[in-house]
Amino acid sequence: MKDINQFTITQAVKESFKTEPGSRFESLLHGLVEHLHDFTREQNVTHEEWMGVLNFLYDCGKISTPERHEFILLSDVLGWSSLVDMINTKGGATEGSNLGPFYLDNAPVKQLGGNLADERDGVTVLVHGKVSNTLHHPLPGATIDTWQADATGTYPIQEVDQDKYDLRGKFTCDENGRYYYTTVLPKPYTVPYDGPVGVLLRAGTRHAWRAPHMHFIVTAPGMAGITTEIFFKNTEYLDNDAVFGVRQSLIADLKPAKDIDKLGYTLDKKPDAVIEFDFVLAPEG
Tell the smallest beta-carbon distance from residue 76 to a second copy (Å).
Answer: 10
Give CA–CA dist 187/151, Å, rounded.
Answer: 5
Query: Given the complex with a second copy, which of 18 and 137 has the nearer CB atom?
Result: 18
DSSP type of residue 4: -
236 binds a second copy (CB under 8 A): no
Q: Which helix (H) or strand (E) element contains residue 263?
A: none
Between 27 and 56, how does the x/- string for binding to a second copy read (CB under 8 A)? xxx-xxx-xxxxxxxxxxxxx-xx---xx-
* 178-184/189-190 β-pairing: unpaired
> Could you give the angle at which helices 196-203 and 70-77 cross, rounded to 10 degrees?
20
Tell the smallest beta-carbon distance from residue 128 to a second copy (Å).
23
The interface region with a second copy, picked from 12-20, 102-110, 130-138, 151-159 by CB under 8 A, is: 12-20
Q: Which of 206, 224, 269, 276 binds a second copy (CB under 8 A)?
A: 206
Q: Restricting to residues 266-285, which ones interact with a second copy according to CB under 8 A?
A: none
Distance CA 248, CA 226 (A): 17
The nearest distance, CB 18 to a second copy, in angstroms, is 4
CA distance 272 to 245: 26
- In 3-state terms, what secondary structure has residue 232? strand
Total of chain residues touching a second copy, rule CB under 8 A = 71
Under the criterion CB under 8 A, does residue 239 sit at the interface with a second copy? yes
Q: Which range binds a second copy by CB under 8 A, 142-150, 176-184, 204-212, 216-224?
A: 204-212
Q: How far is the CB of 267 from a second copy (least distance, A)?
A: 31
Distance CA 17, CA 217 (A): 38
